[in-house]
Structure 1
Amino acid sequence: MTPESTPTSAPRPGGTGRLAGRTVSRVGYGAMQLERLHEDRAAAVALLRHAFDLGVDHVDTAEFYGSGFVNELIREALRPEDDVLIISKVGAASDPGGPFPLRVAQRPEELRAGVEANLVTLGVEQIPVVNLRRMDVGFAPPMPDDQFVDLDDQLAVMTALRDEGKIGAIGLSSVSPDVLRRALPAGIVCVQNAYSLVAREDEELLKLCTAEQIAWVPFFPLGGAMPGMPKVTDEPAVLAAAERLGCTPAQVGLAWLLHHSPQTLLIPGTATTGHLEANLDAGAITLDQETLAALDAIPPRPSTNPLH
């Protein structure tokens, strides 16, 4: 796949993929870690602009990242010449004073309120893609009884928001294959689940995304993001591949995801320039068949849920 050029003439990291009807870089940017730069707003904005200059043209965010702080950074960083696809999500909300940093917000009125809040902090009239972050699989905060909401009721409000022009397209996050199948008539453009070389429980879901030409956007792409999660960079086969290829173990983990499925778009996050550049450079790493076979042979590792 030949990288196309962005308006800034930077090559698209990882080549090109498709998201919401647009051609995008296969390596984008996940903005969650920008919250770590709360005391250095200028550095956070500079990091985002550096990413755009290097060819990043899709950014994953959420209103509940820093209670709107991360969205505000994106709003400030975007320049008129930047053609960047913004993907946000609803289904949770910030809860700084609670037992967990997030609370579940699955009710239809909460989904609408989440979209409205994103519109304000991003400073846009439409969010190109909004993911409905459900709690069907993976790590989730405790679910009060009133937060068990039928998928059809949620898709009804998401579809209404799309019809109103407040969102451009609908994605899903933390869902099972059955939930995706039920949602297909709504026109799902992407799926985000926790997935990595050591956490491959969602192969069936990935195959369904491939069959339906839906972008597969794994979060926690290197594992280890929370206590109890195995780390890709701890695997001996990953360490050996990194030494042989002259790159970092993290780059091997990201490169494997790109090689594993052409539907994959990456959104690795970081708050440092060095890690940003290394993540983007992973898109240019070629894994030979011997290396791929060694990585594919790594067994999935069980996780324990730190939120319960």
Structure 2
Amino acid sequence: MNTSLGGTLQIGGDLPVHRLGFGTMRLVGDGAWGEPQNPEEARRVLCRAVELGVTLIDTADAYGPEVAERLICEALHPYPPGLVIATKGGITRQGPAKTEYVGRAGYLIQCVEMSLRRLKLERIDLYQLHRIDPRTPLEESLGALRQMQEQGKIRHIGLSEVTPAEIEQAQKIVPIVSVQNRYSLADRRHEQTLNWCEQHNIAFLPWYPIAGGKLLKPDHPFAQTLKQLAARYDASPAQLSIAWLLHRSPVMLPIPGTSQVKHLEENIAAAALPIGPDEWAQLEAASQEPS
């Protein structure tokens, strides 16, 4: 059981990672607010993820806020060679599931500096703008991140929750190497963006990669097909959902998160599922049926 079974991806052409990463939002309190219920288990999850071959850990200063970054440092610093810590800035959090987008240059520069301090890094390998702030020109937001990149404090820059047009606009300001959008087997709202990323060899990090299944009605044909195929491989629907993401595109980099070691190990095991082309075709056809 190792994430290497899911294949590798070169982010930005020079940053190799295994294509099954780990997302840290679920390590903190509900609504991405506050401390974890079990801090020791949270740190064990992070350590176990690295043991199982995870080479990309995705986080953000808004998780907690600040809690997830601190936990990563407590559990893993000094970091093993080859481990990429990807973090994000540009969202402020006022309470559980309460956020506001802030893209002002001064604020983003502060975000980068504080993430560097909390993570005990000299350079962040992948820094993603958490959301585009509609009140701030994109040139100002990405100009600030470009400045930090020129200073050697950021290696690569990515975006989150964007359209192809927004990526193209951003590319005129600074090179973009990754996109993190909501996407899952049950939630294909960003299919066009994924296709664009695949055509331009940009890493696509789907967030909410499993829980999107909650959107399905129990009597939906897709839900039944997913359950039947999972049982055929002695797997869970969640594992099959992760395996499908890895199969869907070579630029896909799923980052399923959990606060329990047991669930982490189940997620990682999805990389080894020997699903055949007939089963993928059956699952794909069922997912396209109307609800």
Asked whether the two chains share a fold, i.e. TM above 0.5, the reply is: yes
Aligned to 1:165: 152
Match of 2:189, SS state, is: coil
Match of 1:193, SS state, is: strand
* Amino acid in structure 2 at the alignment position of 1:91: G
Aligned to 1:85: 84
Aligned to 2:11: 19
Identity of aligned residues (%): 34
C-alpha distance after superposition, 1:253-307 (max 9, x if no partner)? 11111111011111100001111001111111132122111221213879xxxxx
Aligned to 1:156: 143
* Residue 109 of structure 1, aligned match among 103, 106, 109: 106
- How far the C-alpha of 1:232 sits from its partner, in A, is 9.7
C-alpha RMSD of matched pairs (Å) = 2.4
Aligned to 1:188: 176
C-alpha distance after superposition, 1:123-171 (max 9, x if no partner)? 2222111111225xxxxxxx8xxx5222222221111111112211100
In structure 1, the gaps of 5 or more residues are 4-9, 136-142, 303-308
Aligned to 1:125: 122
Structure 1 residue 178 corresponds to structure 2 residue 143: no
* Residue 187 of structure 2, aligned match among 182, 199, 203: 199
Q: Are residues 34 and 51 of structure 1, via their aligned partners in 2, closer, same or farther at CA, if it must alter by over 3 Å?
A: same
- CA–CA separation in structure 2 for the residues paired with 1:65 and 1:164: 26
* Amino acid in structure 1 at the alignment position of 2:255: I
Higher fraction of strand: 2
Q: Are residues 39 and 237 of structure 1, via their aligned partners in 2, closer, same or farther at CA, if it must alter by over 3 Å?
A: closer
- How far the C-alpha of 1:247 sits from its partner, in A, is 0.5
Q: Are residues 285 and 181 of structure 1, via their aligned partners in 2, closer, same or farther at CA, if it must alter by over 3 Å?
A: same
Match of 2:171, SS state, is: helix
4+ runs of 1 displaced by more than 4 Å? 231-234
In structure 2, the gaps of 5 or more residues are 30-34
Q: Are residues 68 and 81 of structure 1, via their aligned partners in 2, closer, same or farther at CA, if it must alter by over 3 Å?
A: closer
Q: Are residues 253 and 153 of structure 1, via their aligned partners in 2, closer, same or farther at CA, if it must alter by over 3 Å?
A: same
Task: After superposing the two structures, state which structure 1 stretch, 28-37 or 252-261, moved more.
Answer: 28-37
Structure 1 residue 40 corresponds to structure 2 residue 27: no
* Amino acid in structure 2 at the alignment position of 1:269: G
* Amino acid in structure 1 at the alignment position of 2:278: E
